[in-house]
């Protein structure tokens, strides 16, 4: 499907805030989010049901869906930011009116459970969306790394190729399979990607650079998910693979002398045989210093012998 770029976000524009998955743990997150965004020069509108609770969800499915569709349909809103991730975004997809998004392309930002919306939106509308920091997890933090905010605002506000996603003086990613490839980006949270298989929202990986990250998953579960993607034929189709943070994915401690696999071991074992460029250790995912990645935009993966880089080749906004 032809990609559709949203209009760039400008100072004075309105950001609509939605909570498609789980509610924040503290109510003051809403006020702090408004203060931060307004302090940066934007207007803020919250979804009508943002403060609702429904078990582990931020309101009923109908309420969360209504907020999401309302923000895309509202002509006064120029961008839609997710407050946080969590659980439950997939429950919206069967009822989501993708025509509303298709006819009202806007900047859309989130990650983690929001991966489900990135993949479905990319598949059914072609809209470029942004796998990037959310308000509760990143943007309202007093100690937010400059790199995180600079990457986000430049990616969604400047109609120019972003270039390398790596921060200056950062530890360089490591190549598993050296090589170089140019292709559109697709991906997100590994657990969510796997959960799309066998559904109408199944990830399309053919000829694309797949980027993956996850949190709080033991190495054997990462192995299971990658194996499932292999068994489904999804990894054999990729042009390259970029691995971000696998936070809290350390193996269980074993008695002295027992061997156990790390996440890096699993990634190398499962991905090296693909024979396409593969690199690990990129700064995106459930980490403080996270890059914003434009889903659907062409990038160049350079997996060198000693280090690797990911370069955004095209503007992500108009």
Return the CATH number at 308: 3.50.30.60
Domain that holds residue 139: 14-144
On whether both 167 and 49 belong to a single domain, the answer is no
What residues pair up with 243 in beta bridges, in sequence order?
212
pLDDT score for 12? 98
pLDDT score for 256? 63
Query: Do residues 135 and 24 make contact, with C-beta atoms less than 8 angstroms apart?
Result: no
> Cβ contacts of residue 162 below 8 Å, gap of 6+?
151, 154, 155, 294, 312, 316
User: Does residue 158 lie in a domain region?
Assistant: no
CA distance 113 to 58: 13
On whether both 195 and 273 belong to a single domain, the answer is yes
* DSSP helix/strand/coil, 230: helix
On whether both 172 and 118 belong to a single domain, the answer is no
**pLDDT averaged over every residue in the chain:** 96
pLDDT at 140 over 70: yes
Alpha helices in 57-114 (DSSP H): 61-73, 98-103
On whether both 305 and 274 belong to a single domain, the answer is yes
User: Does residue 203 lie in a domain region?
Assistant: yes
On whether both 97 and 125 belong to a single domain, the answer is yes
Across the chain, where does the E strand assignment appear?
14-18, 43-46, 79-82, 107-110, 129-131, 163-164, 174-177, 179-189, 209-215, 240-247, 278-280, 293-295, 298-303, 308-312
What residues pair up with 310 in beta bridges, in sequence order?
301
* DSSP helix/strand/coil, 59: coil
Residues tagged active-site:
112, 213, 286
CA distance 182 to 250: 32
User: Does residue 154 lie in a domain region?
Assistant: no
User: Which range among 108-117, 167-176, 207-216 shows the weakest confidence by mean pLDDT?
Assistant: 167-176
> Full-prediction pTM beyond 0.95?
yes
CA distance 133 to 286: 9
On whether both 217 and 257 belong to a single domain, the answer is yes
Condensed to tens digits (0 to 9), the pLDDT of residues 158-197 reads 999 999 999 988 889 999 999 999 999 999 999 999 999 9
User: Does residue 236 lie in a domain region?
Assistant: yes
pLDDT at 258 over 70: no
Q: DSSP 3-state helix, strand, coil percentages of the chain (rounded to 5)?
A: 30, 25, 45
On whether both 44 and 135 belong to a single domain, the answer is yes
Q: What is the CATH number of the domain that holds 62?
A: 3.40.50.10740
* DSSP helix/strand/coil, 189: strand
Query: Do residues 105 and 5 make contact, with C-beta atoms less than 8 angstroms apart?
Result: yes
CA distance 85 to 64: 13
Query: What percentage of residues in the chain have a pLDDT greater than 90?
Result: 93
Number of domains the chain is built from: 2
Q: pLDDT band at 102, cuts 50/70/90?
A: very high
* DSSP helix/strand/coil, 20: coil
N- to C-terminal Cα separation, the chain: 18
């Amino acid at each position: 499907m032809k990609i559709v770029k949203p209009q760039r976000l400008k100072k004075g524009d309105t950001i609509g805030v939605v909570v498609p998955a789980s509610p924040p743990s503290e109510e003051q997150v809403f006020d702090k989010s408004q203060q931060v965004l307004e302090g940066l020069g934007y207007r803020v509108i919250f979804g009508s049901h943002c403060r609702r609770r429904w078990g582990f969800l931020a309101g009923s499915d109908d309420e969360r869906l209504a907020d999401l569709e309302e923000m895309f349909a509202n002509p006064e809103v120029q961008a839609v930011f997710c407050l946080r991730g969590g659980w439950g975004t997939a429950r919206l997809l069967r009822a989501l009116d993708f025509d509303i998004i298709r006819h009202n392309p806007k900047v859309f930002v989130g990650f983690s459970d929001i991966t489900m919306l990135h993949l479905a939106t990319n598949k059914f509308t072609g809209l470029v969306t942004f796998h990037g920091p959310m308000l509760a997890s990143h943007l309202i933090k007093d100690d937010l790394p400059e790199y995180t905010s600079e990457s986000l605002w430049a990616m969604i506000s400047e109609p120019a190729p972003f270039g390398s996603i790596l921060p200056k003086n950062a530890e360089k990613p490591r190549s598993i399979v050296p090589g170089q490839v140019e292709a559109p980006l697709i991906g997100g949270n590994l657990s969510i990607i796997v959960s799309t298989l066998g559904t109408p929202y199944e990830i399309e990986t053919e000829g694309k650079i797949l980027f993956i990250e996850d949190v709080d998953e033991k190495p054997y579960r990462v192995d299971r998910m990658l194996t499932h993607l292999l068994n489904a034929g999804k990894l054999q189709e990729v042009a390259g693979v970029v691995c971000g943070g696998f936070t809290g994915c350390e193996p269980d401690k074993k008695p002295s002398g027992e061997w156990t696999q790390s996440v890096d071991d699993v990634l190398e074992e499962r991905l090296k045989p693909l024979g396409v460029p593969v690199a690990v250790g990129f700064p995106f995912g459930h980490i403080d210093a996270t890059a914003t990645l434009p889903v659907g935009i062409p990038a160049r993966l350079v997996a060198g012998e000693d280090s690797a880089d990911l370069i955004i080749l095209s503007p992500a906004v108009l």
